[in-house]
């Protein structure tokens, strides 16, 4: 009989055609409606923000890999995604140096020091966002009034409070919601309100999120449990005391709730693998975000909520793991 040769390799033996690069590019494509909406309302400032944060993030990724002797990993496009998400979490008129510092925190401090992609416990863009908010609160809360580019690609920045910021100020000053100061549902949905570049415009975030679901890049478990819990919690408080907060639908379309639910909380590295753990993760995010929004000093709480729940991911995956075939529950 002829000699037979057997090829012995390590797992996995069944390889999926999707690669990290392809998955990240799918996420980038899903972000395009949000980016286009940002440019429509913030013109030059949005373009500057997206360009600088992506260049800074890719640059820091390249430099750290070179200095540490690791293979350069910029081709996996994870730094590109982080840069775009960081820009979406910043005010349109944020100084360039905050984008530089934020990119360093996101790539080097939040990702590379842990070993690179797949090793970081917390979402890099959110770590950078929270760090900048605490370190430079004035620069990170200097919101500008949106102005469609049909009025000019470069416009004078006019200070304007975010809807959630206005809500918090009214409650502190008057002890109740001032209905006349609330943004309309339409403005909230299309993003014609002051805020982070990618945090508003719920319809465009939803388009991107549904696209990722259709491509099976993310599943429904985290976004639905996140937004459903936020809706339920704020709805209960609103029914008990409508003067304490806005209605639950406005909570869903305001601020960064939609962006966090579809693009931040669903990050592969910092979210659970097991489906039922993902539901618990989403519930935790929605509950914490609602508590901070209504009872905390910050008007927005989604970023803090996701980071807090990131810390519980190892426990959720460990204790909610289904039993293997033949395994006896102890």
Q: Tokens at residue 281, please?
A: 């993760």
Of all residues in the chain, the percent with pLDDT exceeding 70 is 85
Maximum distance among all Cα pairs of the chain, rounded to whole angstroms: 92
pLDDT (tens digit per residue) in 234-270 = 999 999 988 888 889 988 998 889 999 999 999 989 9
pLDDT (tens digit per residue) in 39-89 = 999 999 999 999 999 999 999 999 999 898 888 888 889 999 999 999 999
Average pLDDT over residues 285-302: 91
Provide the pLDDT for residue 118.
85
Mean of the per-residue pLDDT values of the chain: 87
Provide the pLDDT for residue 80.
95
Residue 38, pLDDT above cutoff 90: yes
Residue 159, pLDDT above cutoff 80: no
Q: Tokens at residue 93, please?
A: 């008129």
d(CA 80, CA 96): 17
First to last CA, the chain: 51
Provide the pLDDT for residue 54.
96
Residue 56 near residue 100 (C-beta atoms within 8 A): yes
How far CA 145 is from CA of 30, 42, 244, 280, in Å, comes to 25, 9, 26, 37
Average pLDDT over residues 297-312: 92
Query: Which of the pair, 171 or 317, is modelled with greater confidence?
Result: 317
Residue 107 near residue 78 (C-beta atoms within 8 A): no
Average pLDDT over residues 127-144: 91
Nearest to 282 by CA among 297, 264, 269: 264
- Where does 112-201 have alpha helices with state H? 124-135, 137-140, 163-174, 185-190
d(CA 185, CA 81): 29
Query: Which of the pair, 184 or 317, is modelled with greater confidence?
Result: 317
Q: Tokens at residue 180, please?
A: 């006349």
Residue 167, pLDDT above cutoff 80: no
Nearest to 226 by CA among 288, 310, 165: 288
Across 42-51, 172-181, 201-210, 263-272, least confident range: 172-181
Provide the pLDDT for residue 69.
85
Q: Tokens at residue 111, please?
A: 């990702």
Residue 209, pLDDT above cutoff 90: yes
Question: Using the 8-state DSSP alphabet, how is residue 312 labeled?
Answer: T
Query: What is the chain's percent helix, strand, coil content, to nearest 5?
Result: 60, 0, 35
Question: Is the peptide bond between 172 and the residue preceding it cis, with omega within 30 degrees of 0?
Answer: no
Question: What is the dihedral sign for C-alpha 209, 210, 211, 213?
Answer: positive
d(CA 195, CA 253): 12
Residue 27, pLDDT above cutoff 90: yes
The neighbour count for residue 59, using CB atoms within 10 Å, is: 17
Whether pTM exceeds 0.85: yes
Q: Domain segments of the chain: what residues?
A: 20-140, 162-318
Query: Which of the pair, 256 or 213, is modelled with greater confidence?
Result: 213
Task: Name beta bridge partners: 196.
Answer: 91
Binned at pLDDT 50, 70 and 90, residue 308 comes out as very high
């Amino acid at each position: 009989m002829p000699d037979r040769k057997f090829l012995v390799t390590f797992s996995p033996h069944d390889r999926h055609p999707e690669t990290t690069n392809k998955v990240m590019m799918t996420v980038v494509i899903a972000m395009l409606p949000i980016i286009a909406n940002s440019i429509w309302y913030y013109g030059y400032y949005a373009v500057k923000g997206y360009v600088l944060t992506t260049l800074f993030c890719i640059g820091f990724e390249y430099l750290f890999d070179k200095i540490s002797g690791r293979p350069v990993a910029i081709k996996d496009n994870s730094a590109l995604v982080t840069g775009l998400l960081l820009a979406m979490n910043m005010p349109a008129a944020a100084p360039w140096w905050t984008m530089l510092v934020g990119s360093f925190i996101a790539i080097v401090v939040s990702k590379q020091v842990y070993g690179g992609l797949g090793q970081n416990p917390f979402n890099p863009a959110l770590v950078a966002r929270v760090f900048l908010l605490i370190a430079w609160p004035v620069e990170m809360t200097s919101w500008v009034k949106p102005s469609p580019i049909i009025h000019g690609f470069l416009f004078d920045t006019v200070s304007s409070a975010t809807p959630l910021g206005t809500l918090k100020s009214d409650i502190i000053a008057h002890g109740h919601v001032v209905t006349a100061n609330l943004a309309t549902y339409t403005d909230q949905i299309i993003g014609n309100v002051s805020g982070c570049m990618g945090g508003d415009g719920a319809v465009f975030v939803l388009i991107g999120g549904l696209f990722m679901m259709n491509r099976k890049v993310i599943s429904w478990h985290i976004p639905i449990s996140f937004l459903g819990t936020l809706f339920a919690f704020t709805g209960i408080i609103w029914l008990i005391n409508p003067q304490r907060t806005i209605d639950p639908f406005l909570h869903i379309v305001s601020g960064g709730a939609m962006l966090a639910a579809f693009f931040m909380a669903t990050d592969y590295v910092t979210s659970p693998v097991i489906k039922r753990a993902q539901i618990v993760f989403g519930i935790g995010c929605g509950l914490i975000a609602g508590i901070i929004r209504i009872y905390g000093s910050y008007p927005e709480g989604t970023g803090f909520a996701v980071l807090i729940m990131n810390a519980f991911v190892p426990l959720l995956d460990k204790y909610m793991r289904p039993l293997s075939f033949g395994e006896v529950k102890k």
